[in-house]
Amino acid sequence: EMTYTVKLYFAELESKNPGDRVFNVYIQDSRVLENFDICAEAGKKDKEVVKTFTGVRAGNEIKINMIPVKGNTILSGIELIGEPSKFTWNDK
């Protein structure tokens, strides 16, 4: 099992208004975004929003679920970055 930083990239590419597309996002079955609204967050269309989550523990898979609240869900990109192992070095 390793620990990762997970970056989720969102961009509203359609002519949506704040409140038109709202959804919840789960990583490894933990809710990380509630009632997420790209338009409201970005302030305008075609502006990227990046959400970063650290300390995500995973073995063979990282599970990302997006559950619609209003409209449908959208995800533009995912970046996974392995975090360094946390160990101490003792050279006495």
| CA–CA gap between residue 60 and residue 19 (Å, rounded) | 35
| pLDDT tens-place string over residues 21-80 | 999 999 999 999 999 999 999 987 778 999 999 999 998 899 999 999 999 999 999 999
DSSP 19: T
Please enumerate in sequence order all residues whose Cβ is within 8 A of that of 8, keeping only pairs 6 or more positions apart, or say none.
25, 50, 51, 52, 53, 64, 75, 77, 78
